[in-house]
Structure 1
């Protein structure tokens, strides 16, 4: 299997390198292409920092991956996934792994995630894809356990490769030294941490992450992750809604 590793935290993220090392250890042929700068919250956007329509791509070397081609791309992860599908970084990937994201991606708010957006874009272009996120809290007490997320993700690699083209999995892993087997979970309406728009009172507003109290649905990704379980959710990309009578 040929695998593209991307993310929305940027080419310098340790989670990106850890996920690439995990894919190499699994025996896949790996290429890395990730935003040159952080691109969190960009969904499946196709924006880029370009000059006359040209997107700058620079070769990089990632820690522990001297033989793996890696590229810093002045674009959002959705555009990177699209470009990869059309051969910009070699042959089109069979599998796209997006992450490991610094923070969970749970609930319907995954719509806004650049990590998930890259996976969904890859799926629309024929690849199997998995978004991988580590539930790093707002105030972590220790360095993130990237290798735990990769170890859990690796248990799903063969299952992902066997899924039909266009399949998408969303994996969330608790930030701890060890984690169990992923549990299948539904999408919560919202996660325990939500974005709130704050009026600054001077004609401007800001966006902040806040912890919201309240009961989460028992079988939801947000609830199970909060209880310390890795969660996996199969996602479907944009499609028509046949349930609406027009």
Structure 2
């Protein structure tokens, strides 16, 4: 039953986020993308601080794990995701630099146009590969949450889906430039999102075999959510906005937190 829940949760988080992103990108609903960033940030922070970390500390009592060890894992997890982000940024920046002429402007002769076309296709595959690896990691984290408690798994799956939607909107825009049709872009990104389920199965086996390490898995999941919210989503919201726009931003942030809290309450009944 747990494995079935993991498969459903990971597919909803992985492929569901792609289809929702397509709805936003292709159905002229892009004005909601900024709101989704706020919603996702709230959902991730609430899931980490209200669900994952408390559960990790509860599990640590029976597993004989100290609070100091869990906080150390949380710190190492944050640094790890920071370094992972750095590596990805360096890789994309390096590719971008190679695709440009020395003065920073794109050249327009036939050779460079051809090179740019090849590079775009390479960039498309880089996006799909990056998404697949990311989805695999998300699947493992969701699986760890489901093994601890199905309600925790549900909250984690929703939080992952919420933060992947704005990310996938950007991916679809990139893939539209490298593939012939929007349908091809959606199909390939859906396959990448489906890798979340593979990560879920691997996570289920891993956590099952090393159940005493479950508190650590949960803390790593929390560190991933906290890092994504504070380093990736929140900075995108730090813009000079009108009072009305700021109020809307804060409202969506609290809506994300409220959604996680509500899911937790509904799941208990």
Structure with greater helix share of residues = 2
Interval of TM-score (by shorter of Structure 1 and Structure 2): under 0.3
Q: Quick one: higher RCO (CA 8 Å, sep 6+), 1 or 2?
A: 2
TM-score (norm 2): 0.22
Larger Rg: 2
